[in-house]
Structure 1
Amino acid sequence: MNRDDTAYTIWLSLGANLGNRGETIREALRKIAAIPATCLWQVASFYETAPWGKLDQPGFINTAAAVRTSLPVLAFLHECQRIERDLGRVRHEHWGARTIDIDLLAAEGQRFDTEELRLPHPYLTERAFVLYPLRDIAGRLIVKGKTVAAWCEEPAIKSQAIELAAELDTPWPLRLIAAIDENRGLGIEGRLLAHVPDDMAHFKSLTAGNVVIMGRKTAESLPKEAPLNDRINIVLSRSLPALPGFIVSNGLADLWQILGEIHKAHPDKTFWCIGGGEVYRELLPYVRVAEITRLRGCYKADTWLPELSGFQLDHEQEMEQGSFQRWLRIDRERNDNGDIS
């Protein structure tokens, strides 16, 4: 993808302290990535911070993001305000609790000083919960004559309580792996369509040592009390109380908490959704990379993989029975050259 010469960078601060704070911020980032003429460029780590201004409220999770957009600044601001409304933001009181807060911090080559918008943000250099995440993605950005990294070393900033949150810090924390036929068929009566040695080796090479997430039927199809070796096995089920060898998650909110704890302890592990059909449908909105084994021909199937809308084919490798395909979400982070990373 070629870089758009009309695009420029806007840096944002996001925060939430009501409800499922981390997932609310991730959903806000997914919606920002869907704004027309806009690319979500970078996302900082998530930070746990004490309330600011009005102290009798829950703590916040905060992060920063950078976007590349061709929209005028005020048009982009209005899109962010729409996202706040969509996610339940109601502006009852200044500095009060809120479901989601999206602030524009700075815009490349532009300044504003109006009642509607001031850029750079007037409080940018006063708040650790703004500066620390911003340092992750734009430490050399100059604000009021100093870099963001230098502002973070000011005693008044270092004295503020802030720490890395035990939260997943990406809008799309999951990867998906599946084998399908030419009709997108996945399986029949709880079984795979075919046992293809190359596909089995491919599956093992990608998921070994990582985390696999599956539905109840997939979990129960494995040998009794013997989940996949050398992997952390999670079963997503709202009715299953326990299953030997598995971590049981009873819903998405619970799943994000489990994955956040695993990520904190094992930051190098990746999270793989491995089926079946219902779990693929439920988790696809949170998938960044899909590894698909495309089998030649059509099989009798009763379960199908949803369409990978919002993805594009990145790589394909032929094999005897078909091909291995890698699909990447279109709204994904890019490197400083504008290339896909």
Structure 2
Amino acid sequence: MPISYLGLGSNLGSPERLLRLAVKSISRLSGCYFLHCSPIYRSIPWGVRSQPDYWNMVLEINTRLTPWLLLKQCQNIEKQFGRVRKKRWGPRTLDIDILLYGHLTMKSTKLTIPHPHLLKRDFVLKPLLNIAPDLRLPNGEKISQFLPTCPLHIRKS
């Protein structure tokens, strides 16, 4: 079973509470086995700035689900938590991204692994490295080498 990493974010409602409830929902998915959870980080918005701060975290899971089925399950959870897809990078109750899926590399219009913005977001890299400090990309590069050049978005909370 591949180890996968999911990035979670929220900036509407009660973000911390929603993230904790989302972790419970993900851990209950058939074929997904929860391994680790990062601390929650607070960050300024990425993309569209005129919105509330985000609360972000990363989960490490083992999964028997295919990447496509995992994506569908994550989108179902987002919907259960009131996610409405209106504006790209706009405010949301819950966002779940597949960051990495084992050593898989894939690119399609609906799903790209590794996540296309993984290395440009400190609010993803810091929580990811918190739970997997020696993690490498499918091409073998250490993820930690990208953090020093990553734009800063995390706020001290």
> Normalising to structure 2: TM-score of the pair?
0.94
Do the aligned partners of 1:51 and 1:59 also contact (CA within 8 Å) in 2? yes
RMSD (Å) for aligned C-alpha atoms? 1.3
SS in 2 for 1:83: helix
Alignment-derived partner of residue 92 in structure 1: 86
Percent of matched pairs sharing the same residue = 33
Q: What is the CA deviation profile of residues 122-165 of structure 1, one whole-angstrom value per residue up to 9, with x for unaligned ones?
A: 110011111111111122222365322221122xx2x5131454
1:92 to partner: Cα distance: 0.3
Moved over 3 A (4+): none
Do the aligned partners of 2:81 and 2:94 also contact (CA within 8 Å) in 1? yes
Alignment-derived partner of residue 149 in structure 1: 144
| Cα separation, 2, equivalents of 1:145 and 1:63 | 24
Alignment-derived partner of residue 110 in structure 2: 116
Do the aligned partners of 2:45 and 2:153 also contact (CA within 8 Å) in 1? no
Question: Which of 13, 17, 40 is matched with 2:7 structurally?
Answer: 13
SS in 2 for 1:11: strand
Q: What is the CA deviation profile of residues 4-35 of structure 1, one whole-angstrom value per residue up to 9, with x for unaligned ones?
A: xxx21111100000010001001111000000
Runs (5+) with no aligned partner, structure 1: 1-6, 166-341
| Cα separation, 1, equivalents of 2:140 and 2:44 | 28
What residue identity is the alignment partner of 1:48? R
Larger strand share, 1 or 2: 1
| Cα separation, 1, equivalents of 2:68 and 2:79 | 17
Do the aligned partners of 1:107 and 1:120 also contact (CA within 8 Å) in 2? yes
Indicate whether 1:161 and 2:156 are aligned: no
SS in 2 for 1:103: strand
Q: What is the CA deviation profile of residues 212-265 of structure 1, one whole-angstrom value per residue up to 9, with x for unaligned ones?
A: xxxxxxxxxxxxxxxxxxxxxxxxxxxxxxxxxxxxxxxxxxxxxxxxxxxxxx
1:116 to partner: Cα distance: 1.3
The size of the alignment, in residue pairs, is 156
Answer 1 or 2: higher relative contact order, Cα 8 Å, separation at least 6: 2
Do the aligned partners of 1:48 and 1:164 also contact (CA within 8 Å) in 2? yes
Do the aligned partners of 1:138 and 1:148 also contact (CA within 8 Å) in 2? no
Q: What is the CA deviation profile of residues 14-65 of structure 1, one whole-angstrom value per residue up to 9, with x for unaligned ones?
A: 0000010001001111000000011111100110100110000000000111
| Cα separation, 2, equivalents of 1:145 and 1:70 | 23
Alignment-derived partner of residue 226 in structure 1: none
What residue identity is the alignment partner of 2:80? D
What residue identity is the alignment partner of 1:89? R
Do the aligned partners of 2:44 and 2:155 also contact (CA within 8 Å) in 1? no
Name which one, 1 or 2, has greater alpha-carbon Rg.
1
Do the aligned partners of 1:16 and 1:24 also contact (CA within 8 Å) in 2? yes
Alignment-derived partner of residue 130 in structure 1: 124
Runs (5+) with no aligned partner, structure 2: none
Do the aligned partners of 1:43 and 1:64 also contact (CA within 8 Å) in 2? yes
Indicate whether 1:107 and 2:101 are aligned: yes
Alignment-derived partner of residue 25 in structure 1: 19
1:76 to partner: Cα distance: 1.0
Do the aligned partners of 1:13 and 1:65 also contact (CA within 8 Å) in 2? yes
> Normalising to structure 1: TM-score of the pair?
0.44
